[in-house]
Structure 1
Amino acid sequence: MAEQARVPALRRAALVLRRLSDSDRPMTLAELTQQTGLPKSSVMGICHAMTDEGLLARGVDGTYALGSRLYELASASRAHGLAIGEIGFSYPVGESFFVAEMDALHAEAERLGARLHVQEAKENRRTQSRQIEDFVAAGVDLILVEPVATDGLEDACAKARAARIPVVAIGSALSGADAVVATDNTKAGFLAGSALVAALGGQGRVAVVGGIPITANSDRIAGFLAAIGPHPHVEVVATSHGELDAKSGRRAAAEILTANAAVDGFFAANDQIAIGISRVLRSRKLAVPIVGVDGARNAVEEIRSGGPIVATATQDPAALVRAAMDIGIVLHGGGHVPRPSRYLTPTLIDARNAADYQPWG
């Protein structure tokens, strides 16, 4: 009888997991209740229990997403799938975030007994397209791409598809890819924007420094603008574009401050841009808060020491790689992925929790 009593609870938990798996974003308790048709109290109990077990992750806004434990279980199931012997990975440049991804990818390849082919695209679209084509010609089993641009790689991806080699984009959407695994960058931008509004006391002139032409950066900016939108006394007075390094952040900050001396805060599309901005502000002895996205070690160290970087919304390079591998292995084996776009939930790191956060990099 006890065994029979557990079955309905297991089925309800599985239903919650399926609804989250089918969704393209984290879901609230109310949404899960509506979509599962279960009593709210049951859904709440299931979500709390699965969060405790790491099967779900609860965001700062109370929404629920699939948890890291599920990815671990998926990794454990790989031995039952079609073996992957060769993996190709193309990334933009040797910046710390991509280095952290490569470290995780080397660990995944070693676990699978696979050979890893790594190519740096140097932020060049044509170079990355050629690298994907080279992976296809080499007959790899899976191609992973950290795109230098969202568009422009469609022909190379089409060649991979014709050769039945899955292409999984990591970090940002890629037109032509079979799947994408990324941070929820809109939410990351929103978290960072909310932190800057708080740091400014709800009023001030802010500058926005974007990144390379990928959806990750445009989504972060959209999230940032959504966060400051309800605050009429927070005004964007300058915009610029950086790349993937601190040097571009220094250049953008110098240009912005030359044209707009009275800037009260900065939003940077990634932490390395934020670091570059910080160096310019320090050199000019300006106490101007900066918020960014990534959760990188050097940015977190600034938060711990009192700024100018005051907050960052996290990414988890290792978790992104593991999730991309999980999807890639399923696709390589001819399986169906019900949700080819998977977005991991970011967390805001600021002075309140920076001491307890373990940064990457």
Structure 2
Amino acid sequence: MFSLRLLPILFLFSAAPSWAAPSRIGISVGALDNPFYQALVRGAIQAAHHLNPSAQITSLSANFTLPLQQQQMRQLIAQKVDLILLGAVDSQAIAPEVQRAREAGITVVAVDVDAPGVDGTVKSDNRQAGEITCRYLAEQLGGKGNLLIQGGPPVSSVSDRIAGCRAALAAFPKMHALDGGNGLGSSLGGQRAMQQDLARYPAIDALFATNDRQALGSEKALDAQTHGHLLIGAVDGSPDIERALRRPGRIIASASQSPYLIGREAVLLGQKLQLRQPTERLIKVPVSLVNRYNLAQYQGWLSALPPIPKR
């Protein structure tokens, strides 16, 4: 588990003028015990302090619970923040709170997943993530077999990854997609979904889990039942999946995201929107596949990134 402490050795940003830079930023994301969101918040904090060294940042964990995130949005509106970074736990149901924030003059940037009515969005190319992972699984199976697609929370990133997976499998006529259960974005959820799907389907050759935690939980379920060899691919490129790829096991690949870069770019986009500068309102951060063969070159979520350009 990563700490939210800043790492000045890795990230050296020169001071920047604070004019027109956000002074109060609120962040609400799925769960701050998840290293993905920790890295995302770290990127946001460092970008904010680069733009305005005295910026105040409030980071909140919604614990993947819609009522809690709704309450957090109301809290941030009451605090009169300048900018909200929102990692929605339900891509559609959070819409009324987004509208209230914008009516209060607050810029809202969605991070990681879509949310209706926001000013801008920064997220991974999630369709690409599903495509490259499922293509790799299909290739490892020789282009034939049953691939279980395990769902997750009701957010756009999950639906985009599943759509990408199905698009990749369309190129393999002898691959059959199986509809899996909802892994709920967690290890325990993935474990339970896998247990249920093992009872539903007599033959499963591979699993696509929509995030790494679900993949790790699913692997536990398979190992407990001494199930035959079944390949697992996922999305995130997390430190846990790096460790899994270093040992023998069922997990063979994950499409790596860059949560630090998502958080950083979200703050920079927020400032551009507040200044009414011409800018793209949707930023998709590319992903890449990490597997056992390229793991030695993989720099992971905490790799040093180029400094933020002077403004």
Q: TM-score, normalised by structure 2?
A: 0.87
Match of 1:290? 232
SS in 1 for 2:246: helix
Write the distance in 2 (CA, Å) between the matches of 1:244 and 1:78. 37
- What amino acid sits opposite 1:107 in the alignment? Q
Match of 1:197? 138
- Note the 1:51-200 alignment, pairs <5 A: 79=17, 81-93=19-31, 94-111=33-50, 112=52, 113-200=54-141
Residues 133 and 255 in structure 2, CA contact (< 8 A), matched pair in contact too: yes
Write the distance in 1 (CA, Å) between the matches of 2:280 and 2:15. 18
Match of 1:223? 164
Write the distance in 2 (CA, Å) between the matches of 1:149 and 1:99. 19
SS in 1 for 2:20: coil
Equivalent of 1:315 in 240, 251, 257: 257
Q: Deviations over 1:5-55 (max 9, x none)?
A: xxxxxxxxxxxxxxxxxxxxxxxxxxxxxxxxxxxxxxxxxxxxxxxxxxx
Residues 46 and 264 in structure 2, CA contact (< 8 A), matched pair in contact too: no
Residues 253 and 289 in structure 2, CA contact (< 8 A), matched pair in contact too: yes
Q: Deviations over 1:195-229 (max 9, x none)?
A: 11011111111111111111100000000000011
SS in 2 for 1:272: helix
Residues 256 and 289 in structure 2, CA contact (< 8 A), matched pair in contact too: yes
Per the TM alignment, residue 337 of structure 1 is displaced from its structure 2 partner at its CA by 4.2
Write the distance in 2 (CA, Å) between the matches of 1:118 and 1:338. 26
Per the TM alignment, residue 122 of structure 1 is displaced from its structure 2 partner at its CA by 2.0
Q: TM-score, normalised by structure 1?
A: 0.75
Change in 2 beyond 3 A, CA 1:219/1:283: same
Residues 211 and 241 in structure 1, CA contact (< 8 A), matched pair in contact too: yes
Write the distance in 2 (CA, Å) between the matches of 1:162 and 1:329. 18
Moved more, 128-137 or 109-118: 109-118
SS in 2 for 1:148: coil
Equivalent of 2:194 in 238, 245, 253: 253
Q: Deviations over 1:302-340 (max 9, x none)?
A: 22323311111110010001110110111223x134310
Write the distance in 1 (CA, Å) between the matches of 2:154 and 2:70. 15
Q: Percent sequence identity over matched residues?
A: 29
Per the TM alignment, residue 78 of structure 1 is displaced from its structure 2 partner at its CA by 5.6
Match of 2:267? 325
Residues 327 and 337 in structure 1, CA contact (< 8 A), matched pair in contact too: no
Residues 48 and 267 in structure 2, CA contact (< 8 A), matched pair in contact too: no
Per the TM alignment, residue 83 of structure 1 is displaced from its structure 2 partner at its CA by 2.8
Match of 1:271? 212
- What amino acid sits opposite 2:143 in the alignment? G
For structure 2, the 5+ residue unaligned runs are 1-10, 303-311
Change in 2 beyond 3 A, CA 1:359/1:223: same
Write the distance in 2 (CA, Å) between the matches of 1:238 and 1:127. 30
Write the distance in 1 (CA, Å) between the matches of 2:186 and 2:180. 17
Flag the structure with larger Rg. 1
- What amino acid sits opposite 1:152 in the alignment? A
Write the distance in 2 (CA, Å) between the matches of 1:76 and 1:103. 17
Write the distance in 1 (CA, Å) between the matches of 2:96 and 2:278. 23
Per the TM alignment, residue 348 of structure 1 is displaced from its structure 2 partner at its CA by 0.8
Change in 2 beyond 3 A, CA 1:83/1:158: same
SS in 1 for 2:17: helix
- What amino acid sits opposite 2:71 in the alignment? R
Write the distance in 2 (CA, Å) between the matches of 1:180 and 1:237. 31
Residues 242 and 252 in structure 1, CA contact (< 8 A), matched pair in contact too: yes
For structure 1, the 5+ residue unaligned runs are 1-71
Change in 2 beyond 3 A, CA 1:338/1:76: farther
- What amino acid sits opposite 2:301 in the alignment? W
Change in 2 beyond 3 A, CA 1:78/1:329: farther
Higher helix share: 1
Residues 78 and 329 in structure 1, CA contact (< 8 A), matched pair in contact too: no
Q: Deviations over 1:146-198 (max 9, x none)?
A: 11011022221122212221000100111121110000000110000111101
